[in-house]
Homo-oligomer: A and B are copies of this chain.
């Protein structure tokens, strides 16, 4: 493997000194880029794009040709695992992911198994190809959904406004949901370890739907499984720590316990104040976030001002670690020039905080 030329992202995750605040954006390889839309059209569908390592590599690298991001993230989807379990994933244009065979009955749940990782080889191949093509420019992030979050899709069959189906199961048959989550946990641990073996230099767990749980259910149905995944991960590769980032959207109220789950860094959405987050948890973990993605529609002056506001909220870095990001994936409608301004402002303005 080529030597890593820019390790600012990895060092910030480990709360080591860095000259500026590194940044990357969730969904940075995506529809807001015309070259992505072109490649996707060529591939024919989202799934074909994700399942072909060369296409996946191509779209992973596209944003890095335009913007001075400090990390690349594997182009893939959190639903590859349930797809490999036989749930039949499809992406309906304009409606998002949909499973042909959601888990609705005890029988459905009893048939569920940890998939053979061979069926996910296209993901690990993509990691290898991307690492080779990145040639050490920036680190590559691998990722997976949290056991709870993929479980939501597996039971609902698609996104949901209220998560009624999985919550109905959770309140009436918690044993079935725990069985799903246990299987998801084992699958996710293996899956991320295979990504690490293939060359992922950091991994992120997206608990996108942890925040829909009631306060008295979050630990039992989301956090404990995320913790188990992290406990099972290889934390070193190529002689270097592989940092783990956990992001529970809507989890700001549970920050204290999320910070104890074993992750090196915690992602935050834009409803959390970074200064208060540091007051609450100290510098036990690095923080990643947390600009409202809609700021990117406000014009250059607003982008720069709000970027500075996030950096100011984090404050002098000291023994902490901050990775700049949005508080959620970038919108497909984002003008690319707003991203240009954001990268410039974050890199420039943050230097004073790293004195």
Contacts and interface: CB of A to CB of B under 8 A. Distances in A.
Interface of A: 162-164, 167-168, 170-172, 211, 213-218, 250, 252-253, 270-273, 292-295, 297-299, 302, 306, 309, 313, 327, 331, 333
A215 B295 contact: no
A110 B81 CA distance: 51
Contacts of A167: 292, 294-295, 297
A107 B91 CA distance: 39
Contact of A171 (B170, B211, B253, B299): B299
5 contacts: A167-B295, A213-B271, A215-B272, A216-B273, A253-B273
Contacts of A292: 167, 214, 217
Counting from the closest, the 7 A-B pairs by CB-CB distance are: A171-B298, A167-B294, A168-B297, A214-B270, A214-B292, A215-B273, A171-B302
B294 A163 contact: yes
A200 B222 CA distance: 42
B171 A295 contact: yes
Contacts of A299: 171-172
B250 A171 contact: no
A293 B162 contact: yes
A171 B293 contact: no
A170 B171 CA distance: 40
Contacts of A333: 164
Given A162-B331, A250-B250, A331-B162, A168 B294 contact: yes
A213 to B, nearest CB: 7
A250 B271 contact: yes
B211 A271 contact: yes
Given A172-B299, A273-B216, A331 B164 contact: yes
